[in-house]
Amino acid sequence: MSGLLSNIGSIRRHALPAARFAWARATGKKYPLMVTLSLTDRCNFRCEYCKLPELDRDEMSTADWIQAIDELADAGMQRVSLMGGEPLVRKDIGAIIDHLRARKINVAMNTNGWLVPKRIAEVEKLDLVCVTLDGPPEVHDLQRHKGSRARALSAIELLRSKGMNVVTMTVLTARGINTVDYVLERARELGVRSFFQLVHDSEGDPD
């Protein structure tokens, strides 16, 4: 009986978002199905193609983020991507992740990987981790941070050892445009998927 009740509860939790999505598609109503939360501009790196840490903008407090998450979840949010800067520099990242999970939200995070071992208790609660991998050391370390390519690979290996879903993200710069094969080879070895993006204006969307 307990197993049957558990299955019914699971079906009910998944049926409501699906029904809301179908209703929105049928009526043309929009709601925040997938949301990106930029938690901070702060970062422990100074990547040559990113100016976010220099903006020095105010951050929302933990309470602000909890309220925003509740409002978005009530509006229909089902998946969220946590971005920065580097999200793991926030001391309250665990509380934010815990609240998202309590609201039954699928949670992904983009990270440079450096702080993953230190924050693994929080990180392993995520549904997906995206680790930046720009290429071999002569590319990755030069445009991101000395020693960071090795730390990124170690972070991926740690996450995979815990059975986590991991992808890599490569920023294709003029220096690293020929590193695609290298990244794909590392991805095959590590058992992860790879994504690529062209370098772009890192100061945010144009006015």
Instruction: Tell me the pLDDT band of 96, cut-offs 50, 70 and 90.
Output: very high
Can you give the pLDDT at residue 6?
Answer: 47
What is 148-207 written as a DSSP string?
Answer: HHHHHHHHHHHHHHTT--EEEEEEE-TTTTT-HHHHHHHHHHHT-EEEEEE---TT-S--
Least confident segment among 13-22, 39-48, 127-136? 13-22
Rounded to the nearest 5 degrees, what angle is found at the Cα of 84, between the Cα atoms of 149 and 115?
45
pLDDT in tens, 177-190: 899 999 999 999 99
Can you give the pLDDT at residue 5?
Answer: 44
Task: Please give the structure tokens belonging to residue 202.
Answer: 């890192």
Contact 78, 107 (CB under 8 A): no
pLDDT in tens, 187-204: 999 999 999 999 865 454
The pTM assigned to this predicted structure is: 0.84
The four Cα atoms 129, 12, 74, 127 give a dihedral, to 10 degrees, of: 0
Give the phi and the psi of residue 78 in degrees, each rounded to 5: -120, -25
Can you give the pLDDT at residue 205?
Answer: 47
